[in-house]
Amino acid sequence: MKLRQSICVLTVLTCLIPQTAFAQGAGTTWGITPWIGTAVTSGDVGEAVSSAGFVVESGKINNAPAYGVFGGVRVGGRLMIEALLSFAPSTVLLDTRLEGTGTQLKQGYDLNIVTYGVNLGWAFTSSKTAIVPYLSAGAGGASFSPDDSAAAFATGGESTTDLMINFGGGLEIPIGETVALRLDLRDYIVSTNGEFSLFPSTESTTLNTIVLAAGVTLHTP
């Protein structure tokens, strides 16, 4: 269901893109930005009991490196329409205890996070020779894939996809006619509505992932 919601959101956003965005007219440039950064995730999953008899007292997705790409078009030097794709190879740390006992355990497993979506943004200047500040926001999906280790199995870990929204901004610093350094700070928000199967909880969970990234933008003249 969450995957279908993500696809619907992406379809609606795509339909809202002005037709001029796809015309190679004056003031329209295409670009791509591979980037690398760090992802900091906050949000506790609350207490839950797993099928293997472990009580999950708290769970945290650890900070991780992040890799990704922005790609899209800029219309009139200002309107930004971009697709995004990112990957963060993270880990999960769980504080658990055996059900019915006081035995405390710490468990962890690898967790791959893939995020994708479409953003609309606005650049505050159309200059190609000055620093360009911008803001953007959008929606898409976030897929969480744990490894199949004993720890992941014990906590009911399964792959899941949820609706994601994001917003942020940054700076583009020109270093050539068609090359710029891009700095981006973005908040990715995922609401699981109690269906976050990595942690079998009945509580709704909202995860906030702040990604600080730096990349190199290659764009048409």
pLDDT digits (tens, 9 = 90+) for 48-92: 555 456 666 667 788 999 999 999 999 998 999 999 999 999 887
Residue 83: alpha-carbon gap to chain centroid:
12
* pLDDT at 206 (0 to 100): 82
150 — phi, psi (to 5°)? -60, -35
CATH class of 2-10+29-219: mainly beta
Return the H-helix or E-strand segment holding 152.
helix 150-154
pLDDT at 150 over 60: no
Task: Compare 118 and 177 and report the one with higher pLDDT.
Answer: 118
Alpha-carbon distance of 90 to 37, in angstroms, equals 13
Neighbours of 102 (CB within 10 A): 6
Does the global pTM surpass 0.85? no
pLDDT at 145 over 70: yes
* pLDDT at 1 (0 to 100): 47
Range 176-182 average pLDDT:
94
Range 189-203 average pLDDT:
59
Catalogue the long-range contacts made by 4-8 (C-beta closer than 8 Å, 24 or more residues apart).
5/163, 6/117, 6/139, 6/140, 6/141, 6/161, 6/162, 6/163, 6/164, 7/141
pLDDT at 166 over 90: yes
Residue given tokens 């468990």 in the structure block: 107
Cα angle value 73/74/80 (rounded, 5°): 95
pLDDT at 25 over 80: no
pLDDT at 93 over 60: yes
- For the chain, helix (H) and strand (E) counts, in that order, are 2, 10
Q: Please spell the DSSP secondary structure of 189-213, one letter per residue.
A: EEE-TT--TTS--SS--EEEEEEEE
Confidence tier at 16 by pLDDT (50, 70, 90): very low
pLDDT at 42 over 90: no
* pLDDT at 197 (0 to 100): 45
